[in-house]
Amino acid sequence: MSQTLCPCRAFLPSVLAMTEIALTVQQTARPAGFPTADHFRFAESPVPAPAPGTALVENLLWSVDPYHREMMDGDFALNAPLEGRTLGRVVASRTAELPEGEIVFHRQGWRTHAVVRPEEVRRLPHHPGVPLSAYLSVLGGTGLTAYVALTRIARLREGEDVFVSGAAGGVGTAAGRFARLLGAGRVTGSAGTPQKVRYLTEQVGYDAAFDYRTAPVAGLLAEAAPTGIDVFVDNVGGDHLGAAIGALRERGRVVRVGTISQYNTPDAPPVLFNHADVVEKSLRVEGFLVKDHQDAQDELYDFAVPHLRSGALTADETVVDGFERIVEAFLLMLRGGNTGKILVRATP
Ligand SMILES: NC(=O)c1ccc[n+]([C@@H]2O[C@H](COP(=O)([O-])OP(=O)(O)OC[C@H]3O[C@@H](n4cnc5c(N)ncnc54)[C@H](OP(=O)(O)O)[C@@H]3O)[C@@H](O)[C@H]2O)c1
């Protein structure tokens, strides 16, 4: 299910139409709390020429991600190019390994053009019928995170009941769809609006869902999953984590994927939960980083591509048109404006 947001020219520098100009987004200041457009600027430079052994890539699709918010606190250098997952086309090459016209994945995001070495890029596999955007959403790092969470970390077994927080986002929609395809029992999700809750049950295949903003999460979860859960895929942390620990059955697993409830509120109070539950129910709480599981990428293709082709699996995406809207797209995602994986697409 793909949603496209209408173009807005608010961020469009007047020179964007000139193909000899490259644009690069830079962070200009550290935010306290939610970032704004004032924490970024668009820098112009001539389109770079590839040196021997490199190729020039014109970027086509960009991923903006919650981890970028974490990087804004220190890992992103100020007034310098930012990193991010990106797909682009080789438009000039001085290496036989990257022929012109090839579509590649690389991490020089937040810019219109990148000069890359062959070892810095991943060539995309050819899966006829699979849209390009899927390689940044359900088949990309987002889908891989959901797949690793369920298979390697939770070791989900058929019939087990799953709860996913942040269920209407990129990882959350993929986790719900994968859980269903892997034979999970009852699949419950939480999200931040009534529209998203409906989307989860009507489109994504969740059995039950609730709007976490309407009441304390523990009560909402008890109503939505009245007999408890076996696996919690946690994209959010905070109240969700405390509630899920209470709802888990014996030998339940918490997969700590992310903590988005705290990225913009670092002073949030610590999570409260009954520590004895972890012992008395023999729970396992385990986090992971998808970068340590890149070896599962081919397994994800083997699992998901046939389902994508048959229509049993859909890539949930919110696509924002125009590189000039990349900052807007990032800020929108932090405020919950996306359903599925948020992507930015170059205007042709
Ligand atoms: N471990 C890893 O390697 C790894 C890899 C990828 C992603 N992650 C993590 O996975 C999580 C989801 O990432 P994603 O890329 O799929 O992003 P996403 O879920 O598509 O987008 C972020 C969503 O977070 C929700 N949100 C924002 N503030 C919130 C709050 N205070 N409480 C609850 N929900 C809130 C919003 O939805 P609502 O409208 O529902 O609030 C928003 O749509 C993030 O925590 C991210 O850091 C981890």
Is any atom of ligand 1 closer than 6 Å to the C-beta of 196? yes
Tell me: do 157 and 228 sit in the same domain. Answer: yes
Is any atom of ligand 1 closer than 6 Å to the C-beta of 66? yes
Is the residue at 302 inside a domain? no
Tell me: do 184 and 274 sit in the same domain. Answer: yes
Is the residue at 79 inside a domain? yes
Beta bridge partners of 58: 89, 113
> Contact, 82 vs 59, CB < 8 A?
no
Tell me: do 208 and 278 sit in the same domain. Answer: yes
pTM (predicted TM-score): 0.95
Tell me: do 87 and 173 sit in the same domain. Answer: no
Tell me: do 328 and 250 sit in the same domain. Answer: no
Number of H helices, E strands in the chain: 10, 16
Q: Domain with 222 in it: what CATH number? A: 3.40.50.720
Q: Distance between CA atoms of 225 and 121, rounded to whole angstroms?
A: 43
Is the residue at 176 inside a domain? yes
Is the residue at 2 inside a domain? no
Question: Ligand 1, from 63, 217, 260: best to mutate by most atoms within 8 Å of Cβ?
Answer: 260
* Overall residue count recorded for the chain in this entry: 348
Tell me: do 266 and 330 sit in the same domain. Answer: no
pLDDT string in tens for the chain (348-residue length): 666 553 333 333 333 444 689 999 999 999 999 999 999 999 999 999 999 999 999 999 999 999 999 999 999 999 999 999 999 999 999 999 999 999 999 999 999 999 999 999 999 998 999 999 999 999 999 999 999 999 999 999 999 999 999 999 999 999 999 999 999 999 999 999 999 999 999 999 999 999 999 999 999 999 999 999 999 999 999 999 999 999 999 999 999 999 999 999 878 888 889 999 999 999 999 999 999 999 999 999 999 999 999 999 999 999 999 999 999 999 999 999 999 999 999 997
Please tell me whether residue 329 adopts helix, strand or coil conformation: helix
Tell me: do 119 and 195 sit in the same domain. Answer: no
Is the residue at 42 inside a domain? yes
Number of domains in the chain: 2
For residue 58, the enclosing domain spans 9-137+315-345
Is the residue at 172 inside a domain? yes
Is the residue at 255 inside a domain? yes
Going by alpha carbons, the residue nearest to atom 30 of ligand 1 is 261
Tell me: do 129 and 145 sit in the same domain. Answer: no
Is any atom of ligand 1 closer than 6 Å to the C-beta of 137? no
CA 171–ligand 1 middle distance (angstroms): 7
Is any atom of ligand 1 closer than 6 Å to the C-beta of 191? yes
Tell me: do 16 and 51 sit in the same domain. Answer: yes
Q: Domain with 24 in it: what CATH number? A: 3.90.180.10
CA 32–ligand 1 middle distance (angstroms): 19
Is any atom of ligand 1 closer than 6 Å to the C-beta of 201? no
Please tell me whether residue 242 adopts helix, strand or coil conformation: helix
Q: Which residues contact 294 (CB under 8 A, 6 or more apart)?
A: 144
Q: Distance between CA atoms of 182 and 157, rounded to whole angstroms?
A: 8
Give me the DSSP letters along 28-70: -S--SSS--GGGEEEEEEEPPPPPTT-EEEEEEEEE--HHHHH
Tell me: do 148 and 39 sit in the same domain. Answer: no
Closest ligand 1 atom to the C-alpha of 288?
A: 1
CA 118–ligand 1 middle distance (angstroms): 32
Tell me: do 113 and 241 sit in the same domain. Answer: no
Q: Which residues contact 16 (CB under 8 A, 6 or more apart)?
A: 23, 323, 324
Encoded amino acid at 251, one letter: R
CA distance to 20, 61, 79, 92, 205, per residue, from 24 (Å): 13, 14, 10, 19, 39
> Contact, 216 vs 133, CB < 8 A?
no
Q: Distance between CA atoms of 197 and 295, rounded to whole angstroms?
A: 33
Is the residue at 95 inside a domain? yes
Tell me: do 65 and 86 sit in the same domain. Answer: yes
